[in-house]
């Protein structure tokens, strides 16, 4: 029996992209996985197409009452905070605060709310909270300064809250994957980056370490590795590339 067999995971933003890859990998390990997203059609497709013990819940991840109810009901052994909003890729001079702060109002807010609820309950000792950030937190571009700033906030939040969580025996990890150039979001972002920088898409892919491309399956398997390999227990941050998992050394 695997280390994750029979345990429960909650994954926000679980209906597509990296979130779906994480749901698939955790379910394949024998976990009961509760996938949360707004998109009911995406959740229905996930439930239909993916094997395993998967439950789906549609809701607003920035709603604190919704988050508290899910955490209280499920008491997950693993909480993956992957939900995020799609924003506009453009220079800062072309943003309003409303467009610049899109990811702060969804990605950062939801990570705070769900982590807070996990600590208030608290989750059982030995549980893990995994916060989704981005490689943009480490290597931002001027075309995505708002996005990168929000992802940097998530990375800093994970590092800061890890000490508090450890007092309750809860692990905190942070995922910083490179962009997936073959995804819909990745293709759109690369097109915008090229437009505003004058750099060819292929050059951006090469310079930003996107070869080989990262995929949802790679991210999902990386999460399993974080949870099951004891060497990762005390590591907070992980870069994820097409080559797999890379621990971020601190201190």
Averaged pLDDT of the chain: 96
Q: Where are the domains of the chain?
A: 8-177+214-239, 183-212
Buried b (16+ CB within 10 A) or exposed e, 231-242: ebeebbbbbbbb
Dihedral sign (CA 37, 144, 104, 241): positive
What is the distance between the alpha carbons of residues 24 and 162, in angstroms, rounded to a whole number?
A: 26
61 φ, ψ to 5°? Answer: -70, -15
Provide the CATH topology of domain 8-177+214-239.
Rossmann fold (3.40.50)
So what's the pLDDT on residue 208?
85
So what's the pLDDT on residue 251?
65
As a whole number, mean pLDDT of residues 145-157 equals: 98
Rg (CA), the chain: 17
Largest CA distance in the chain: 55
Residue 17 and residue 183 in contact, taking contact as beta carbons nearer than 8 Å: yes
Which of 12-26, 67-81, 189-203 bottoms out in mean pLDDT, i.e. has the lowest? 189-203
Distances (CA, A) of 72 to 36, 53, 67, 168, 200: 15, 19, 9, 16, 49
Residue 82 and residue 12 in contact, taking contact as beta carbons nearer than 8 Å: yes
Prediction pTM value = 0.96
So what's the pLDDT on residue 169?
98
What is the distance between the alpha carbons of residues 91 and 17, in angstroms, rounded to a whole number?
A: 26
DSSP state of 237: E
- For residues 221 and 209, the model is more confident at 221
What is the distance between the alpha carbons of residues 8 and 146, in angstroms, rounded to a whole number?
A: 34
pLDDT in tens, 7-47: 999 999 999 999 999 999 999 999 999 999 999 999 999 99
Is the pLDDT at 1 greater than 80? The verdict is: no
Residue 36 and residue 16 in contact, taking contact as beta carbons nearer than 8 Å: no
Rounded (10°) angle between helices 145-166 and 109-120: 10
Four-point Cα dihedral 58, 107, 33, 128, nearest 10? -150
Place of tokens 């990168």: 148
């Amino acid at each position: 029996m695997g280390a994750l067999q029979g345990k429960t995971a909650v994954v926000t933003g679980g209906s597509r992209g990296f979130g779906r890859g994480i749901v698939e990998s955790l379910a394949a390990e024998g976990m009961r996985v509760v996938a949360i997203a707004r998109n009911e059609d995406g959740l229905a497709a996930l439930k239909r197409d993916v094997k395993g013990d998967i439950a789906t819940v549609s809701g607003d991840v920035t709603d604190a009452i919704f988050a508290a109810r899910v955490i209280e009901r499920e008491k997950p052994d693993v909480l993956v905070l992957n939900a995020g909003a799609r924003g506009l890729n453009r220079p800062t001079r072309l943003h309003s605060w409303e467009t610049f702060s899109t990811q702060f109002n969804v990605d950062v807010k939801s990570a705070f709310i769900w982590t807070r609820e996990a600590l208030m309950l608290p989750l059982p000792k030995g549980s893990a909270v995994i916060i989704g950030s981005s490689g943009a937190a480490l290597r931002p571009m001027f075309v995505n300064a708002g996005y990168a700033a929000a992802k940097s906030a998530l990375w800093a939040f994970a590092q800061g809250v890890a000490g508090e969580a450890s007092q309750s025996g809860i692990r905190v990890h942070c995922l910083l994957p490179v962009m997936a150039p073959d995804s819909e979001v990745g293709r759109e972002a690369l097109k915008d980056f090229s437009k505003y920088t004058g750099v060819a898409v292929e050059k951006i892919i090469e310079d930003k370490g996107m070869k080989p491309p990262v995929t949802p399956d790679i991210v999902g398997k990386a999460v399993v590795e974080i949870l099951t390999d004891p060497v990762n227990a005390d590591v907070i941050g992980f870069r994820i590339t097409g080559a797999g998992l890379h621990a971020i050394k601190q201190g």
